Amino acid sequence: MVDNSLSPHGGILVEKTAFLSAPSEIENLQSLTPIPVRDQLAHECVNIAYGFFSPLDGFMGAKDLHSVAKNMTLDSGYIWSIPIVFDIPQRELDDLDLSVGQTVLLMYQNYPLATMEVTEIFEYDLHSLAIDIYGTDDSAHPGVQRTLNFGDRFLSGPISLINEPQINPPFDEFWLTPRQLRRKMDELGWNTTVAHQSRNVPHSGHEWLMKGAWLASESDGILVSAVIGEKKPGDYIDEAIVLAHDRLRKSGFFKESIHQTSALLWDMRYAGPREAVFHAIVRKNLGCTHHMFGRDHAGVGSYYDTYAAHQIFDDLPDLGIKSVLTLEWWYCPVCAGVAYEGLCGHENQKQELSGTFIRSIIQGGVEPAALTLRPEVLEVVRQCADEYGFGDPFVGAEYLANRTPVMSMHALDCTSPCTCTCTEQYS
């Protein structure tokens, strides 16, 4: 019987880094077939290498993918809910003349990122995969669309990160590996930590969600794990998300000793309950003991029930991280404050603290009541719009085209004089 409660997931924190600096090591890269990778795959390489995705040590093969799709487990029996796969078109495979057993060089931003030992080349029915993971084949669902746009073949195999990525400001202050986060929690004296998944600027409902979860879990600290990655028009810009959450702590709405903001490189799948399970596993690997789940976690549109992310854990074994399940927070004019669905009896008069409502405040230039959006948070959002968002706190065409990348690569430099051409080739 597989023990899914082990922490990190699988029992061992995977670390697959082998940063190259010796001239001979760098020169040897010239013999490897280079394959450029897009942002998503680069992020996943980094997450695999540092252990965010433990127990994965590389991209999934056919057996793992099938088991994840059909059973929500890896072939080994460990719970896993979201495919982590390396897709590639057949025509590109033909051009590269790849075969099983080769080691390839994954390139990002024209620089070496990682090596990958190709252990399998396979195909998988994308339509059935979309239905299994998302519960729908509607191409309007962003996760379904992502899946149907995959290349028609997949490569699997273990990876090794050979070039340390640079995390750019302001994210460098918040991005920590699982090992570093675990060390940080030890320094803070946190034996128990509740994770808060975030892809939004925090309004007062989020603030009270965190406070309620902290009380309910009796945790020592709250780790805000802000999702930083692929963006679509209308999303909050990533910079505003992390800096606004951090401002809550700096402004004293949380004690310094109980609240930390971190950044996670992840491109949302909007897989609802399945993604909730995935989020729990990742935060377990970060060292968290609890994870809060509110309404419509990782959902999109009306594809999932409001509290589907609550219900899915009833059918799973002990994951080694406890779910803190919360209902909705809203503003109640009768109670004259932020109220909780499980307590407030004025549901007919509630004012939902929805993303749409908060966005209308920000876009309309209205000064909100402190009970809906902290003035300190609004100040940060406006500063970020000016500094990072080309005048807009929400993602637009200019931000997508010209933003500073979250992660940047660099040339591999030899640490001693050498005559190889590798530096020229990979610079």
Residue 97 has pLDDT above 80, yes or no: yes
Residue 216 has pLDDT above 50, yes or no: yes
Answer yes or no: 200 catalytic.
Answer: yes
pLDDT reported for residue 359? 73
Distance CA 163, CA 289 (A): 31
* DSSP E strand stretches across 111-236: 111-117, 120-122, 153-161, 166-167, 193-198, 221-228
What is the mean pLDDT of the segment spanning 30-40? Answer: 96
Q: Convert the pLDDT of each residue in 364-423 to its tens digit.
A: 666 655 667 898 999 999 999 999 999 999 999 999 999 999 999 999 975 444 444 444
| Contacts of 348 by beta carbon, 8 Å cutoff, 6+ apart | none
* Cis bond before residue 8 (omega within 30° of 0): yes
Looking at 146, 153, 182, 199, which residue is catalytic? Answer: 199
pLDDT reported for residue 425? 52
- Nearest C-alpha neighbor of 426 from the set 143, 140, 107, 138: 107
Asked if 46 and 14 touch (Cβ cutoff 8 Å), the reply is no
pLDDT reported for residue 414? 56
pLDDT reported for residue 423? 43
Looking at 47, 163, 200, 285, which residue is catalytic? Answer: 200
Asked if 316 and 211 touch (Cβ cutoff 8 Å), the reply is no
SS3 state of residue 344: coil
Tokens of 149: 């746009």
Residue 140 has pLDDT above 80, yes or no: yes
Q: Residue 126 — φ and ψ, nearest 5°?
A: -70, -35
Percent of the chain as helix, strand, coil, to the nearest 5:
35, 20, 45
* CATH number among 3.90.420.10, 3.90.870.10, 3.10.400.10, 3.30.70.100, domain 23-165: 3.10.400.10
Answer yes or no: 374 catalytic.
Answer: no
pLDDT reported for residue 362? 75
Q: What is the CATH number of domain 171-402?
A: 3.40.50.620
pLDDT reported for residue 419? 42
Residue 52 has pLDDT above 90, yes or no: yes
Residue 424 has pLDDT above 50, yes or no: no
Written as one letter, the residue type at 109 is: Q
Domain with CATH 3.10.400.10 in the chain: 23-165
Residue 38 has pLDDT above 90, yes or no: yes
Average model confidence (pLDDT) across the chain: 92
Asked if 229 and 266 touch (Cβ cutoff 8 Å), the reply is yes
What is the mean pLDDT of the segment spanning 125-131? Answer: 98
pLDDT reported for residue 418? 42
Distance CA 292, CA 86 (A): 30
Residue 1 has pLDDT above 90, yes or no: no
Residue 238 has pLDDT above 90, yes or no: yes
Enumerate the β-bridge partners of residue 88. Answer: 153
Please tell me which residue, 420 or 184, carries the higher pLDDT value: 184
Confidence tier at 67 by pLDDT (50, 70, 90): very high
DSSP 368: -
Domain with CATH 3.40.50.620 in the chain: 171-402
| Contacts of 149 by beta carbon, 8 Å cutoff, 6+ apart | none
Percent above pLDDT 70 for the chain:
94
Please tell me which residue, 385 or 332, carries the higher pLDDT value: 385
Residue with tokens 């001693």, as numbered in its chain: 416
